[in-house]
Amino acid sequence: MSNVPTITLNDQVAIPQLGFGVWQVGNDEVVSAVGKALEVGYRHIDTAAAYQNESGVGRAIKESGIARDELFITTKLWNSDHAAADARRAIEQSLENLGLDHLDLYLIHWPAVQKYGNLYIEAWDALQGFKEEGLTRSIGVSNFSAEHLEAINGAVPSVDQIEMHPTFSQAAFRATLAERGIVPEAWSPLGQAKDLNSPVIGQIAQDLGKSNAQVIIRWHLQIGNIVIPKSVTPERIAQNFDVFDFELSDEQLNLINSLDSGNRIGADPATATF
């Protein structure tokens, strides 16, 4: 049995707090990566239509033989599909690619305001319908700022998946999400490997006899983030899951909190033009 804690979302759906991310993993390579992740015990997989690897993820799920109700599968609606009819076609395509009859979590990938204006509000209405129909158990958003959360109507998103890692830890926005009952989910949780080079992380890892990646993943878990580290390297996939036999002290958490530079690595939702 998995020892991964779950977080109960605002719609009572339970999500495993540690999952496996597959951004920038090709559709062939993703089969072995997800296969390895499922073998070592991950049950939560995070993909997106835009990653173009949903069918590989689906193949790995099928080949694993793991029961559907033991898995937690997230995918995301791409920016060009925010209009209601496009959103429906998109979720149906994602389900077909994944070989599933329902998702566990469906996210609006970006608000994409620069390119598509306020169409993300129509997308949010569509997602609420998909949840009512049972096409997905839970619905949320990604890369939404406070203004985008303000603009959407009706049910509150269960999660907001945003860039978060020690050098961009978003403490103030995490507090905003907490006030709204939205759970923060971290993309690029290792800072796309860049934050692994921090001497502060290195010292804590040395003190604990853990790897730098394990320390960062543990920090995410202890500050309440859902975390989905990506790796295509079997040993790292296993190592990143082996984070439940130690704890960071408050002092160690604060040292990592102090690494925040306010600088993103990825795109800024306020200026992204895709």
Q: Considering only residues 56 through 115, tell me which ones interact with ligand A2P, judged by CB under 6 A.
A: none
Q: List, in order, residues 6 or more apart from 101 with CB less than 8 Å away.
A: 95
Contact present, 265 and 194 (Cβ < 8 Å): yes
Nearest to 57 by CA among 72, 70, 69: 72
Give the number of other Cβ atoms within 10 Å of residue 195's Cβ: 24
The single residue of 42, 51, 106, 120 carrying the catalytic annotation is 51
- Site residues (CB under 6 A) for ligand A2P, limited to 159-218: 188-193, 196, 211, 213
The mark string for 10-49 relative to ligand A2P (x by CB under 6 A, - otherwise) is: -----------x----------------------------
**Do the beta carbons of residue 195 and residue 201 sit within 8 Å?**
yes
116 is catalytic: no
Q: What's the CA gap between 94 and 30, in Å, rounded?
A: 16
Using the minimum distance from each CB to ligand A2P, give the nearer residue, 13 or 38. 38
DSSP 76: E
Cα(173)–Cα(86) distance, rounded to whole angstroms?
Answer: 30
Among 19, 56, 229, 269, binds ligand A2P (CB under 6 A): 229
Q: Is 236 in the site for ligand A2P (CB under 6 A)?
A: yes
Nearer to ligand A2P, 97 or 212 (CB): 212
52 binds ligand A2P (CB under 6 A): no
- Which residues form the interface with ligand A2P (CB under 6 A)? 21, 188-193, 196, 211, 213, 229-233, 236, 239-240
Catalytic positions: 51
